[in-house]
Homo-oligomer: A and B are copies of this chain.
Amino acid sequence: MSRKLRMGMVGGSLEAFIGGVHRIAAAIDGQIELTAGAFSSNPEKSKATGKALFLPDDRVYASFEEMIATEKSRPAEERIDFISIVTPNHLHYAPAKMALENGFHVICDKPMTINLEQAESLQKLVEETGLIFALTHNYTGYPMVKQAKAMIANGEIGTLRKIIVEYPQGWLSSKLEGTGNKQASWRTNPDQSGAGGGLGDIGTHAENLAEYVTGSRIKELCADLSIFVDGRPLDDDGNILIRFDNGAKGILQYSQVANGEENSLSIRVYGETGGLEWRQMEPNSLVHKTNSGYRVLRTNWGQLYPAATAHARIPAGHPEGFLEAFANVYRNFAFAIRAHQEGKPQDPLYDFPTVKDGVRGLRFIDAAIQSGKTDTKWTKI
C-alpha cells in the first residue's frame, strides 16, 4: 500500500502534554499522518489546535462522536484508518467503543479505562471485531527493554528469583492540583482518573514493564498505599510486595511524592545465574551483572537480539529517547494495521501492548486497592 495511514486524534489540544507526545511518536517513522482531530470538548480549542497543526477546517471536529460519524461517511480513500485517544482516563472508553463499533482501529493511552468492567467490555469488542487495538504502555518500546525480555526468555540469567520495579516521581510532592495545573488536577480526581491515583498513572506502567520483561505474571500482592499530601483523594505513593506465577518474588514501588525524582522508572531482575538492570532515564544501557563481573549492553552496539535491533534507528552513541520508544509503539501498531488491511498475519517481532495489557492493568489496580485496605497479607490478582 503506498500511502501513509491516516490518524484521527481524540483529545490532545495544544496545552495538553501527552497529545504532543502522541503526535511526534506518530510522525517519527513516516508511516502515519495526522488527518483529523476532535482535540477538545471545547470546539474553539479544538479548532485552534487543528489550525496550529495545519489541518484543514473540515477535518477538525467538535466531538469524537462527530469525528467518527463523519469520517465513516467519507470515501475509503480519504477516511481515517484509526483513532488515537489521548484524553484523561475517564474519556477513553466511549471513543474507543464507538470507534471499534464503526470499524476503526484504536490506539489508546493508559490506563485503558477507569474500571475493570469497561476494560473487559473493550476486550470483548476487540475480539469480536478483529480490529487492532494498541495501548501506549510506551516503556516497553525501548530497544534495551526488548533486549532484556529476549535475554530472559532465552535463559541468559537462569530461573528468575527476584524482581524490583520502581517508578518514583516527585512532581506531586505538594498540592499542585490546587494551583490550576491541569495535569495534576485530573490525575488526582477519582472521577477522571479512576480508583487509582499514582497507581493507575504510573503503577500500571511498572506492572506492565515487569510482566513484559519477565514474561511472567504477578499472581498476588501485598500493598501499602499512601496519600501523603493532605486533602488529596487518591494514592500518591505505594509500596507493594509482589509474587509471580513462576515463583519469583519482588517489589513494586511507585511514588508521585518522591521529591526530586523526575521520571525514574527502573527494573532489576535477578535470576539464578545473573541479573539485569535497566533505567528509563538512561535508556540506552542495559547492565548485565554476574558473579564474575558485569557488562553494559548498549543500543545498537555489538550483538543484540533481533527484537532490540528492530527497535533502534541510529548508530550506537546517538542516544534514542522517550519519543523514539513511544514511536515504536505507533510504528508497530501501524505495521499491524497494514497487515490487517492486507490480510496478513502480524510479525511478532514488532509487538506492542494490546487490550489484554489494558485488562491486566485494571486487575492490578483493583487488587492493589483492595490489598491496601485489608489486614490480610496477600491479595490475588
A→B interface (CB under 8 Å): 2-4, 17, 20-21, 23-24, 27-30, 34, 51, 53-54, 157-158, 161-162, 164, 168-171, 173-174, 222, 224, 226, 228, 237, 239, 241, 243, 249-251, 253, 255, 257-264, 268, 270-275, 280-284, 288-298, 301-303, 313-324, 374-378
Contacts and interface: CB of A to CB of B under 8 A. Distances in A.
Ranked 7 nearest A-B pairs via Cβ: A260-B289, A262-B317, A263-B317, A292-B302, A295-B295, A321-B321, A319-B321
A290 B259 contact: yes
Number of chain copies forming the complex: 4
A263 B315 contact: yes
20 contacts: A20-B313, A24-B29, A27-B27, A30-B53, A161-B226, A161-B259, A170-B291, A241-B241, A259-B274, A259-B291, A263-B315, A281-B317, A292-B301, A292-B302, A293-B301, A295-B295, A319-B319, A319-B321, A321-B321, A374-B377
A290 to B, nearest CB: 5
B319 A283 contact: yes
A173 B292 CA distance: 12
A224 B222 contact: yes
Contacts of A226: 161, 249
Contact of A23 (B30, B158, B293): B30
Contacts of A275: 170, 258-261
B293 A293 contact: no
A54 B2 CA distance: 6
A228 to B, nearest CB: 5
Given A28-B27, A28-B28, A317-B281, A301 B262 contact: yes
A296 B298 contact: no
Given A239-B250, A258-B268, 7 more contacts: A3-B54, A161-B226, A161-B228, A255-B270, A259-B275, A264-B317, A293-B302
A210 to B, nearest CB: 14
Nearest to A371: B377
Which of A21, A237, A293, A320 is the most central at the interface, judged by chain B CB atoms within 10 Å of its CB?
Answer: A293
A164 B253 contact: yes
